[in-house]
Structure formats: C-alpha cells, structure tokens
C-alpha cells in the first residue's frame, strides 16, 4: 500500500487493487474503567484472519479528562502522559494500517494543556495514522470516505472542501445505525466500551465493529455487515454506581 498525506485532513491511499476490505471501529475510550482492550484485541485478530486491508477509527481513542459528573473518578489513568503511554504500549499492533481521527474526549487534553493526544500517540506508532480533529477524508481510487465524530456541520465541511463522499462513517453515538442525512448516506459506528453509568441511561450502547468490502474504482459496496460481539466476548460488564 502506498499513501500520501494531503491538506484538509485528507489521505490518498493506493492499494494496487480495486476491491478493498475495511473494518471500522470507534469510541474505544481507553483508560476508563469500562474500556474493552480485550475486545479491541479480539477484533484486530479477527480482522487479520479476514484479510482486512485497512482499519478506521472514528474517534474517542482515549477517555480524556473531562469535567462532567464522576468522569475523573472513573479513569484508570488520570494524566496526559499516562494515557498517551498506555495507548502507545497496548493498542493492538498489526500489519494493517489504522487511520484515526480525534473525538471530543481526545480533545479534552487539547483544551487542558494544548496537546493533541492522538497526534502524539500516532507519532510513536508507524501502524497508526492520524488525519486530524473530528473529521478526515480517505481517498482510494475513485472512492471518497469521510470520517466524522460528534456534531460537526458535515454538510458545511463538504461544501467547503468541494467534495461529495461515497461513504460517511460517524463515531460518537455508541450505537450502530444506517441513515440518510440531507441526501448523504451515513453509517453510525458502534463502540468498544462498556456502558458507563453516569452517561445518559437512555442510550443503548452497541458493542462491535463494522465490515465493508468495496470496489474503489466503481465505488460499489460489494458487501457490508455489523460485526457484533460474540457472547463469549461480552462476558465482562461493569456499571459503576
């Protein structure tokens, strides 16, 4: 695979083949007590068995340091350096490249100490590539994939970039869904973190990953599916009071 980083949070990839297999994950929230590093490792092993070409992470790599109720008490690691070094050391290593954007939890460190934790993590790991803050664009042949986290004005950004995406993957919501947003087709990516009791109890977390096989020349989706957790992988569940 050849790659070229461009401006505007964009990367151009060339796989020397048209049919590409992609696994998409999001919201790992590493360094909180409900993190599922075991599931993250499980999905990377599964992806290698499937011959996946590319992994995409749609943000909230770490849990960060936010000022809402009980979040700080819920952390395994409280400092920037501890969270950064933990992910560098323990995020699964693979021959497959992983492309990441940051989420609102990652950006909490940017507000606190002016440091971009995902940028610093990926600078120490050649298998991890960082596209930028809250959104990014992956170009493969004739295929344009947009990654987004949170509530950015997606339509505004696309108009500014003069780009019509073929696929949009969105993190942040912790639920799996497919929907149309102002004529744009969006896949909302599930999370890889157990339910946290101080978050909105009305939210139904979906743990899992998303698989898609696409022809980058014709831009046709050849197959796609939710990759839910097997029952044995769901054995650990922690709800803090």
Sign of the dihedral through C-alpha 194, 94, 119, 157: negative
Cα separation values, 194 from 14, 29, 87, 94, 132, Å: 36, 9, 18, 24, 26
Model-wide pTM > 0.85: yes
Q: Which domains does the chain show, CATH number per domain? A: 2-228 (3.60.21.10)
pLDDT tens figures, 138-169: 999 999 999 999 766 666 767 776 778 899 99
pLDDT at 241 over 50: no
Distance of alpha carbon 51 from alpha carbon 35, whole angstroms? 26
Distance of alpha carbon 139 from alpha carbon 6, whole angstroms? 10
Residue among 205, 140, 132 nearest 167 (CA): 140
Beta strand pairing call for 208-215 and 98-102: unpaired
Confidence of residue 239 (pLDDT cuts 50, 70, 90): very low
Residue among 19, 10, 9, 8 nearest 141 (CA): 19
Q: What is the arithmetic mean of pLDDT over 37-44?
A: 96
CB-based contacts of 83: which residues, under 8 Å, 6+ apart? 30, 31, 62, 63, 64, 77, 109, 117
Distance of alpha carbon 80 from alpha carbon 87, whole angstroms? 11
pLDDT tens figures, 104-133: 999 999 999 999 999 999 999 999 999 998
* Predicted pLDDT at 152: 63
């Amino acid at each position: 695979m050849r790659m070229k980083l461009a401006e505007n949070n964009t990367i151009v990839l060339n796989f020397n083949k048209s049919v590409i297999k992609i696994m998409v994950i999001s919201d790992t929230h590493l360094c909180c007590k409900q993190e599922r590093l075991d599931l993250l490792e499980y999905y990377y092993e599964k992806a290698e068995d499937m011959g996946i070409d590319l992994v995409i992470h749609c943000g909230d790599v770490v849990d960060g340091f936010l000022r809402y109720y009980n979040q700080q008490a819920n952390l395994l690691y409280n400092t920037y350096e501890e969270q950064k070094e933990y992910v560098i050391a323990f995020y699964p290593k693979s021959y497959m490249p992983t492309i990441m954007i940051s989420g609102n939890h990652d950006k909490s460190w940017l507000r606190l100490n002016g440091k971009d934790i995902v940028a610093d993590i990926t600078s120490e790991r050649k298998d991890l590539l960082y596209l930028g803050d809250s959104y990014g664009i992956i170009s493969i042949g004739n295929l344009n994939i947009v990654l987004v986290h949170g509530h950015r004005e997606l339509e505004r950004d696309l108009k500014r970039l003069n780009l019509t995406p073929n696929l949009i993957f969105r993190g942040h919501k912790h639920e799996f869904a497919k929907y149309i947003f102002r004529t744009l087709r969006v896949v909302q990516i599930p999370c890889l973190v157990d339910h946290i009791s101080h978050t909105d109890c009305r939210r139904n977390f979906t743990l899992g990953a998303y698989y898609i096989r696409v022809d980058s020349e014709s831009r046709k989706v050849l197959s796609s599916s939710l990759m839910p957790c097997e029952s044995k992988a769901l054995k650990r569940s922690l709800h803090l009071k």
